[in-house]
Amino acid sequence: MRLTAILTIAILSLINTSCKDNTSTALPKLGFKKVVDNEEVDHIVKDWSFLNSDSIRVTNKDLSDVVYVSDFFFRSCPTTCPKVAREMKRVYTEFESNPQVKFVSFTLDPKRDSPQKLKEYAANLQVRTDKWWFLHGDKDETYDLTGEYLQIGFEDEDAPGGFDHSGKLILTDKAGHIRSFSEGTDPDETPKLIRDINTLLKEYESKN
Amino acid sequence: MEDGVGLAKLIPPLAKSDWLKNNQDKVACIFRYGQKGEVVVNGVTYNQEMPGQKYTEVQITNIINYINNSWGNDFGVVTLKESTVALRNCK
C-alpha cells in the first residue's frame, strides 16, 4: 500500500512539473473559424484601409511584417479610454526599440477625431506616429472592424461619451490572426499581454 | 490613474497639482460640464478636452474630497452644501 502511495505521488509530481513548462506553448489563434474549401480556417482580420494622422492612406497589408496591438477609442471618451491609453502606452514603452511591434488605435468618432486632431492627440501622448498609428476612416467600416478584432463598438446615446465600446488591447500577428488580448482598463492584465507579445516574437524567431 | 500623475501631456496630474490647489471653486463644475482649452498645471500646458459626466452632487463632493486629500495633497474638504451651491452657479 505504501509503495503505491509513494509511486502515485512520484508520478503526479512528474506530471505536475512537465505541465508547468509553458515556455514552449504557442499562443492560440482566437476567433471563430470558417470553412473554406472544406477546410477549417482560422479567423483572419479582413482587409481594411484608413487614413493615418498624416492623412496618408494605410492598410493592414502595411502591417504584414510586424505584430501589433490595437484598440478602438475616441478622444472625448470619459471613462475607459484614458485607462486603456495608459496601458497601451506601457506596452508601447516596453517595445519602443523593437521595430517588430507596432500599435494601432482606431477612432470610433471620425466626425470629431479628424487626422489632424489625432496627430495632436498622439503628440500629447508623446508617442511616435510611425510606431503607434492613429487611424481615421468611415464610421461603418470602423464599427464593422470592431467585430473583426473581436471587440464591441457602437453609438449609444445613453453611454458615457455617446459610444459604447470595449476597452480591450488585441494582439494580432503578421498573418492577421488574433493571438492574445488584455483588458485595457485593468493594469494587472498588461504584464500578461507583454509576455504574450514576447512569446509571439519568439515564435517568429524560431521559424528562421 | 491611481497614482494621480496623469498621462503624458494628455492628462494633467492631480497629485500636488498647483492648478487644483488654486482653483477649488471651479472643480465641481468641471466634473459636471467638462473643460476645454489650455490649462497650465505645475508649469506644463495641457490642451485636451475633459468631458463632463452626469455625476450627482454627492458623487462630486466625494470625488473632490478624495483628490484633495490623496497623493500628498492637502487642499481641504468641501461639504455637500458647498458643492451644490457651486454646481448651481456653473457658467
What is the model's pLDDT at position A22? 46
Question: What is the domain class of A34-207 according to CATH?
Answer: alpha beta
Return the CATH number of the domain spanning residue range B18-88.
Answer: 1.10.760.10
The answer to whether A86 contacts B46, with C-beta atoms less than 8 Å apart, is: no
Every domain of chain A and the residues it spans: 34-207
Whether A172 contacts A67, CB under 8 Å: yes
A9: confidence class by pLDDT, cuts 50, 70, 90: low
Read off the pTM. 0.82
Return the number of CB contacts < 8 Å for A and B.
40
Hey, of B2, B10, B48, which one would you mutate to test binding to chain A, going by the most A CBs within 10 A of its CB?
B10
Residue pLDDT, tens place only, A57-108: 999 999 999 999 999 999 988 778 999 999 999 999 999 999 999 999 999 9
Per-residue pLDDT of chain B (91 residues; tens, 9 = 90+): 578 999 999 999 999 999 999 999 999 999 999 999 999 999 999 999 898 888 999 999 999 999 999 999 999 999 999 999 999 999 8
C-alpha distance from residue A34 to each of A16, A145, B54, B55 (Å): 35, 17, 44, 45
Q: Is B9 on the interface with A (CB under 8 A)?
A: yes
Closest partner residue to B48 (CB to CB) among A124, A127, A160 is A124
Rounded to the nearest 10 degrees, how much is the dihedral formed by the CA atoms of A112, A117, A122, A124? -100
The ipTM is: 0.79
